[in-house]
Amino acid sequence: MADSPEPPTATRTAPGGARAVVEASAAAATRGDPATLAVVLETEGSTYVRPGALALFGARDGQVGWLSGGCIEPDIELRAAEAAASRGIEWMDIDTRSDEDLFAGSAVGCRGRLRLALLPLAALEGWPALIDEWRRGHGDLRLDIRSTGAVTAAVGDERMRWTVPVTSLPWPIDGGAHWTLDIATPPSVLVFGAGPETPSLLPLLRTLGWTTTLVERRPRWSGLGALADHALARSPAQALATARPHDAALVMHHHFELDREALEHLAESISGQAIGFVGLLGPQRRREDLFRVLPASAGASLLPRLHSPIGLKLGGEGPEAIALSIAAQLHSHRHAQPPA
């Protein structure tokens, strides 16, 4: 049988989610952009985001991240520019809960309240180095923001403290106030094998904020590594020995022996055993055939964390629909939603 056409040239897309905002903030700080990080401290009622949500304003490449459907961002951008110019923290109390807000001004109509801290990156010396620790998966980013202007950020054992000029809070408090917010490290997925689904799957996962590593030795498919954050032309054993900790692994070579090899190392290696979600592409009969040739110990290790066939039942067919179903299941797993 003749080989099918070669995969198209791959170009990596930009990441999304909190990862996009945090990484863009580090890049803006490194360049010296007059950028401000907007941090959601509190919410009430119906809001687009929850406490800990982030958006970046004033960076060279424009706004990154959203705190609403687009209706409050122009006002935030103006205040963010003031924070960048003064190098001091600005506070915002955005309240759209009254009936008048349904028809006046920007016609938000969300009936919610957001309280924000606007942090000028120029006042946070060393921010990019701390974010590099976060990006490498060394821990969640914990922000502690106080109404006095004291700001602490920590990732794992790395901690930085700043005292930033501050305006008065525009809402009443009893004494001092502070907020502690955790921004989770980007989830990481190790993908063993590329195929027709890969050109859709890897960009989808990056858009959802995942860090992606493609393990692919076959020349025909290795070019798709350009779509991933990291590409390893190595065996599964080598990839598991050298890679960072991962939240999930996908086995999808469309090749029986290569899938068997990946599953065995996910079952037997210490780093493979630490991965709590293992997805296997293909029908149930193929999974049964694979497990017949795996050691019994491998089956015992894999079955409690195996998701096979991988992908939620969304309907449709073809590689794009399969990629969407896989990304949806990973997203659901990440946010602790039971599969449909």
Place of tokens 């110019």: 85
Note if the bond before 309 is cis, omega within 30 degrees. Answer: yes
**CATH number of the domain bearing residue 307:** 3.40.50.720
Does a structural domain hold residue 4?
Answer: no
Pick from 9-18, 117-126, 152-161, 268-277: least confident: 9-18
Does a structural domain hold residue 162?
Answer: yes
* Secondary structure, 3-state, 109-153: CCCEEEEEEEEEHHHCCCHHHHHHHHHCCCCCEEEEEECCCEEEE
Q: Over 50: is that where the pLDDT of 202 sits?
A: yes
| Domain final position from 134, 159, 183 | 183
Q: Do 162 and 24 share a structural domain?
A: yes
Task: Work out the average pLDDT over 47-61.
Answer: 95
Does a structural domain hold residue 222?
Answer: yes
Q: Do 236 and 130 share a structural domain?
A: no
| Domain final position from 129, 150, 183 | 183
Q: Over 90: is that where the pLDDT of 198 sits?
A: yes
Measured at the CA of 48, the angle between CA 94 and CA 87, to 5 degrees, comes to 50
Tell which residue, 263, 272, 252, 250, has the closest CA to residue 293: 263
Q: Do 264 and 175 share a structural domain?
A: no
Q: Do 162 and 76 share a structural domain?
A: yes
Q: Do 163 and 38 share a structural domain?
A: yes
Residue 39, domain extent:
17-183
Q: Could you give the CA distance from residue 187 to residue 9 in angstroms, rounded to a whole number?
A: 26
Using DSSP bridges, classify how beta strands 277-280 and 306-307 pair: parallel, antiparallel or unpaired.
parallel
Q: Over 80: is that where the pLDDT of 309 sits?
A: yes
> Looking at residue 336, what is its pLDDT?
78
Per the structure, how many domains does the chain have? 2
Tell which residue, 2, 8, 21, has the closest CA to residue 223: 8
